[in-house]
Amino acid sequence: MIEDKQPQRTPISELGEFGLIDHLTKNIEIKNTSTKYGVGDDCAILEYGDKQTLVSTDLLVENVHFDLSYVPLKHLGYKAVMVNLSDVYSMMGKATQITVSIAMSNRFPVEAVEELYEGINLACKLYDVDLVGGDVTSSNLGLVISITVIGEVEKDKAVKRNGAKDGDLLVVSGDLGGAYLGLQVLEREKEVYKVNPDSQPDLSGYDYVMERQLKPEARMDIPKILNELDVLPTSMIDISDGLSSEVLHICTQSEVGCNIYEEKIPLDPTVISACEEFNLDATTVALSGGEDYELLFTINAADYDKIKGNPSLTVIGHITDASAGTNLVTRAGESITIKAQGWNHMS
Q: Which CATH number characterizes residue 83's domain? A: 3.30.1330.10
The tens digit of pLDDT for each residue in 284-338 reads 999 999 999 999 999 999 999 999 999 999 999 999 999 999 999 999 999 999 9
Domain assignment present for residue 316? The answer is yes
Nearest to 19 by CA among 242, 249, 244, 243: 249
Q: Is residue 108's pLDDT more than 90?
A: no
Domain assignment present for residue 253? The answer is yes
Buried/exposed 249-268: b ≥16 CB within 10 Å, e otherwise: bbbebbebbbbbbbeebbbb
C-alpha to C-alpha distance for 179 and 342, rounded to whole angstroms = 13
Q: Please provide the distance, in angstroms rounded to a whole number, between the alpha carbons at the two ends of the chain.
A: 40
Q: Is 57 in a helix, a strand, or coil?
A: strand
Q: Is residue 265's pLDDT more than 80?
A: yes
Q: Looking at 131, 154, 177, which one is the last position of a domain?
A: 154
Domain assignment present for residue 133? The answer is yes
User: Per residue, what are the HEC states of 179-243?
Assistant: HHHHHHHHHHHHHHHHHCCCCCCCCCCCHHHHHHHHCCCCCCHHHHHHHHCCCCCCEEEEECCCH
Classify burial at 52, counting beta carbons within 10 Å of its beta carbon; exposed 0-12, middle 13-18, buried 19 or more. Answer: buried
250 and 325, same domain (yes or no): yes
What mean pLDDT value characterizes the chain? 88
As beta bridge partners, residue 170 has 298, 317
73 and 111, same domain (yes or no): yes
**Of residues 117 and 24, more confidently modeled:** 117
C-alpha to C-alpha distance for 59 and 294, rounded to whole angstroms = 19
Q: Is residue 87's pLDDT more than 90?
A: yes
**In sequence order, what E strands does the chain have?**
35-37, 44-48, 51-61, 94-104, 130-138, 144-154, 169-173, 235-239, 257-261, 294-299, 313-320, 326-329, 335-337
C-alpha to C-alpha distance for 66 and 59, rounded to whole angstroms = 11
Give the phi and the psi of residue 271 in degrees, each rounded to 5: -70, -40
What single-letter amino acid sits at 57?
T
The tens digit of pLDDT for each residue in 207-232 reads 999 999 999 999 999 999 999 999 99
**Of residues 1 and 211, more confidently modeled:** 211
C-alpha to C-alpha distance for 34 and 12, rounded to whole angstroms = 32
Q: How much is the average pLDDT of 106-122?
A: 92
Domain assignment present for residue 16? The answer is no
101 and 64, same domain (yes or no): yes
pLDDT at residue 5, as a whole number: 59
197 and 313, same domain (yes or no): yes
> Number of folded domains in the chain?
2
Of 87-96, 112-121, 196-205, 207-216, least confident by mean pLDDT is 196-205
The tens digit of pLDDT for each residue in 277-288 reads 999 999 999 999
Per-residue confidence band for 28, with pLDDT thresholds at 50, 70 and 90: low
Q: Looking at 98, 119, 154, which one is the last position of a domain?
A: 154
Q: How much is the average pLDDT of 253-258?
A: 97
**Of residues 132 and 265, more confidently modeled:** 265
Domain assignment present for residue 246? The answer is yes
205 and 332, same domain (yes or no): yes
Q: Is residue 6's pLDDT more than 80?
A: no
Give the distance, in angstroms, between the CA of residue 138 and the centroid of all CA atoms in the same chain.
28
150 and 176, same domain (yes or no): no
Residue 149 belongs to what domain range?
32-154
124 and 174, same domain (yes or no): no
203 and 325, same domain (yes or no): yes
Q: Is 327 in a helix, a strand, or coil?
A: strand
Domain assignment present for residue 160? The answer is no
282 and 181, same domain (yes or no): yes
pLDDT at residue 30, as a whole number: 59
Nearest to 76 by CA among 140, 150, 143, 136: 143
Classify burial at 20, counting beta carbons within 10 Å of its beta carbon; exposed 0-12, middle 13-18, buried 19 or more. Answer: middle
Q: Looking at 94, 119, 154, which one is the last position of a domain?
A: 154
Q: Is 75 in a helix, a strand, or coil?
A: helix
pLDDT at residue 325, as a whole number: 96
Domain assignment present for residue 8? The answer is no
108 and 220, same domain (yes or no): no
Domain assignment present for residue 181? The answer is yes
204 and 100, same domain (yes or no): no
User: For the domain that residue 199 is a member of, what is the CATH number?
Assistant: 3.90.650.10
194 and 330, same domain (yes or no): yes
